[in-house]
Amino acid sequence: MFGIGQKDVYLGYEAQTRRGMLGLSYPIEHGIVRDWEAMERFWEHAFDNELRVNIDEHPVLLTEAPLNPRNNREKMFEAFDIPATYITIQAVLSLYTSS
C-alpha cells in the first residue's frame, strides 16, 4: 500500500486502524529484536514523531530479555549517535519499583 499520500510504513495506532489493508510485522519476538531494520524505523518514529526529541542529545534506557544475545546491545549504537545508555533486564526494573 504505497502511493500518493500514503507511506511505506505505518506504526502504532495508524497501523492498527489500517490492519485490514496492511501486513503487520512484529520486530520483537519473546523480548528479543529479530528485525533490526523495522526496529530502527520504530525508534526513529518514536523519537522524532512521538517524543519529539533529538536522540543525539538524550541518554536512553533500554530493557532486554535475560537471554538476549550480547551483540544485540551494540546494534542501537550502530544506527544512532546516542550520548549514553543504560541497558538492564526487565525484571530488575520491576524489583526497583517494589523497593
- Topology of domain 13-98 in CATH is Nucleotidyltransferase; domain 5 (3.30.420)
Tell whether the model's pLDDT for residue 3 goes beyond 80: no
Tell whether the model's pLDDT for residue 99 goes beyond 60: yes
Q: Which tens digits make up the pLDDT trace of 41-95?
A: 888 888 988 899 998 999 999 888 888 888 887 777 788 888 988 889 988 998 9
Mean pLDDT across 16-38: 87
Q: Supply 39's cell numbers.
A: 526496529
pLDDT bracket for residue 21 (50, 70, 90): confident
Strand partners, 33: 28
Q: Where are the domains of the chain?
A: 13-98
Q: Is the pTM of this model over 0.85?
A: no
Tell whether the model's pLDDT for residue 1 goes beyond 60: no
- The position carrying cell 550480547 is 70
Give the closest residue to 81 by CA, choosing from 63, 52, 57, 61: 57
